[in-house]
Structure 1
Amino acid sequence: MNAPPAALAVTDEALIASGRAVIDIEAQALEAVKGGLGADFAAACRHILACTGRVVCTGMGKSGHIATKIAATLASTGTPAFFMHPGEANHGDLGMVTDADVVLALSNSGESDEILSIVPSLKRQGNVLISMTGRPASSLARLAEVHLDASVPAEACPLGLAPTSSTTAALALGDALAVALLEARGFTAEDFARSHPAGALGRRLLLRIRDVMHTGDDVPVVHVHASTSEALLEMTRKRLGMTAVVDADGVLQGVFTDGDLRRCLDDEDTDLKATPVSQLMGRSPKAIGADALAVEAAHLMEEHKISALVVLDAQRRVIGALNIHDLLRARVV
């Protein structure tokens, strides 16, 4: 679509100045909301902490979009929550709300008909109603047990029509609720990962070495008295770039790697068939336990500039092995 002539005449500097002005106005709005936090905010948190059901977030239009995001943030940080469209609630979806739920209703004006029309049903059912509006004297604010003041000095829209500062303020207030609740519950990074198992954080905090390591016949292992050529054959068969060297009880004695092999080949006096691998192996290899996080293996490999690790049990017996490619496949690195 072609821009009208007036738009083409606007300078880059004017566009940048306009953008900065919007951010300034919204920053002022956030300061206003921050200054308004008080006993009502704490009361809202206490109602939600005491809730044995879910937090039902609802709102129309732009407020509905913010309510959807708040519900998602709450749900992923330890507070079960979902979004309910107030229009659909009037036509059956109100049945999703149980008497154990807390309702968080967003409306900048506090007069949205779709929300006000479901309040009597929520009251009859005994739900705690928390409102978030830009007008503390509005109908929704007066009907709620707790009101969160999201009023702002001005919208960033020069026409004063498009919700801009008001939606930013409501979003920040929702984030403030979620984080305050998270800290009150003692919610941890591991808890967050459990609700994000497919995400990068989930993989980093949930995936264990036992989930990615090679086991059984796939683990490259030779006896401490094996020749270097036998170790080379084992490395070639198992394709992990190294082999563990163990005693008769399977206890790790050392590791022979691709790097050790290259050093052998550079030494013309080394007879691979006659030289025991024990003379050429590394005697202080890096190893890891099966219950360690996979990300710990990645850190160990990066720190020591190695590409493979042996996995040991409590008696230092070899029970597995992995290399950097296993971590790449698991998307840990």
Structure 2
Amino acid sequence: MTSTASRTTGRRALRRFSLVCVGSVIVVVALELVLVFLSRGVDHVPGFFAPSDDGSFILAAKSQSEYWHSGRVVTVTIGADGTRLVPSAPPSAPTTLHIVGDSQVFGWGLSDDETLPEHLQRMLGPDLRVVNHGKPGIGPMGYLQKLADIPLSDPVIVVLTEMNDFQDSYSAMPTVTHHCGSIVLPNGIGRRLPCFVLRSQIFNLLMDLRNLATVERTPLPLGFNPYAVISARVLCKRVENNLAGFLQRRAGASTLLTIPWEAEFVPSRLSAYAPFLDKAEAHTRLPGGTRLHAAFADAPDPDALFQPNDHHISAVGVQWIARALVNLRDWHHAAQEPENQQLADCSFSATLP
């Protein structure tokens, strides 16, 4: 009698457990479908990356991807040559201008028609073709690898990023890795997730809620960190000796400049960084570190030059940089005037902070 009752109780418990599991799956699937509908079927994770033969990653050639970024849908198109599309670029032109850099040049968080190379193309006209060599996750040593594939007689603009190019000059290897068509931190949670979870609407909603509920302060750029003076100066000299030296050996005109750290122009953003600073004062500048400062300082609303809660340049900021570049250099004649190339050394403050 007791044995029969135990089996009956066990079957009931198993049935309840099965119903709970099935119900949970139905709820999760229903929630995912609702979120897919609300997001119009657009992913929240970029999907334009592919693994490379060396174990790193490349931009997926002949691909187009739409994804949500900061509340809006961004369109990214990668051409057959593995570079991001510059929509206004002519098929051919007497001169080809190459723009080399990281996610700032690539146009992270921006659509194809909003990137820096695209704005330059519109300003410079059809007599010159602009190529976007921006690649998220690389640094100055990675720029050297890009430059090695560019004809020596072609003009180039190398755009450094004050926010992270000190740190990224430690190695030629990218700071991120490929996973499921996107890029993730090598030791981050995304690297360990199966693709269907990483790309699910529910997971990305949970990540958004976590980001809203927690405050994670970003490390200061080394050039502004008072506790990293020596590291910054050593790394800056490495950039100067390798990158600037390489550019000087090119036959084509070369320009090297740096996109400033946003908190230097928008003090309210200092609270997002650690250690905390009352005022942003640089002790070390990357080559070309102040060439864009006048353009940023003249902006009526410097905060609008950057994306919300992000150091990346906004669509408005891209236009300011493009205008500044056109004023710095007449690229229609750059290939004929390589002796006027605009390079610079590292700059250091007179006294240590």
TM-score (norm 2): 0.28
Q: Which has the higher contact order (CA 8 A, sep 6+)?
A: 2
TM-score (norm 1): 0.29
**Larger Rg belongs to:** 1
Q: Which has the higher helix share?
A: 1
